Amino acid sequence: MNTTRHEEFREYVAARGPALLRHAMQLTSDRAEAEDLLQAALAKTYLAWDRINDRAAVDGYVRRAMANTQISWWRRRKLEIYPTDELPDQPIDDHTRRSELHDALSRALDRLPARQRLAVMLRYYEDMPESEIAEVLGVSVGTVKSTVSRAMAKLRDDTGLGRDFPGIPPQRP
């Protein structure tokens, strides 16, 4: 095994893993399935690592692998599901409530000033550390912290969801 290849891939997964897991969650809506999906896509990516010449395109490769794998799994499950007269005793997921929360958050994000929106997106959607965000925005780490804090307070107020919404971290006392 090529140590350089292995280490380079390990660094990529450590840096981009959380953001890729969030993408997998969007595809599956289930944490365990998302982890399995990401693992399968990363395994495919590792096997193709030497053929990926543009390292900036790796995220796209992994996302495409996740989408293709999810479609394959969906098709396989579709063939394994049969109609029955008995309903399972499983709780029903309220997709409507989740969709309403997502819409409320999207509208609230759209109302944020551009810099606050970008800071929140980089911090919570891309899982970037504050130091990297500061570098991208060309500001100090303290400015990033205050910008994100103000944006999160505004999101809490605008959505009316406060601490109950899992997508918005709770306000620090």
Summarize pLDDT for 62-108 with one digit per residue, the tens: 999 999 898 888 777 665 566 677 766 766 666 676 777 778 778 88
Is 70 within the bounds of a domain? Answer: yes
Asked whether residue 45 falls in the same domain as residue 109, the answer is no
Asked whether residue 66 falls in the same domain as residue 112, the answer is no
Q: Where are the alpha helices (DSSP H) in 81-140?
A: 95-111, 114-120, 130-137
Asked whether residue 76 falls in the same domain as residue 111, the answer is no
Question: pLDDT by residue (tens digit) across 119-149?
Answer: 888 888 888 889 988 988 889 999 999 999 9
Q: How far apart are CA 65 and CA 67, in angstroms?
A: 5
Give whole-number Cα distances, 160 to 7, 103, 136, 153, 173, in Å.
Answer: 45, 13, 30, 11, 19
What is the residue type of 81?
A: I
Q: 112: burial class by Cβ within 10 Å (0-12, 13-18, 19+)? A: buried
pTM exceeding 0.85: no
Confidence at 20, pLDDT banded by 50, 70, 90: very high
For residue 154, give the CATH number of its domain. 1.10.10.10
Q: Judge whether residue 35 has pLDDT over 70.
A: yes
Among candidate residues 19, 72, 18, the one with its CA nearest the CA of residue 44: 72
Is 34 within the bounds of a domain? Answer: yes
Asked whether residue 134 falls in the same domain as residue 73, the answer is no
Q: How far apart are CA 142 and CA 138, in angstroms?
A: 12
Is 96 within the bounds of a domain? Answer: no
Question: pLDDT by residue (tens digit) across 144-163?
Answer: 999 999 998 888 887 766 55
Is 74 within the bounds of a domain? Answer: yes
Is 14 within the bounds of a domain? Answer: yes
> Hey, which bits of 20-169 come out as E strands?
none
Average pLDDT, integer, range 14-35: 90
Asked whether residue 119 falls in the same domain as residue 159, the answer is yes
Last residue of a domain, which of 80, 115, 133? 80
Among candidate residues 57, 83, 155, the one with its CA nearest the CA of residue 113: 155
Confidence at 173, pLDDT banded by 50, 70, 90: very low
Is 143 within the bounds of a domain? Answer: yes
Asked whether residue 19 falls in the same domain as residue 68, the answer is yes
Residue-range definition of the domain harbouring residue 138: 105-164
Q: How far apart are CA 106 and CA 72, in angstroms?
A: 30
For residue 68, give the CATH number of its domain. 1.10.1740.10
Asked whether residue 7 falls in the same domain as residue 51, the answer is yes
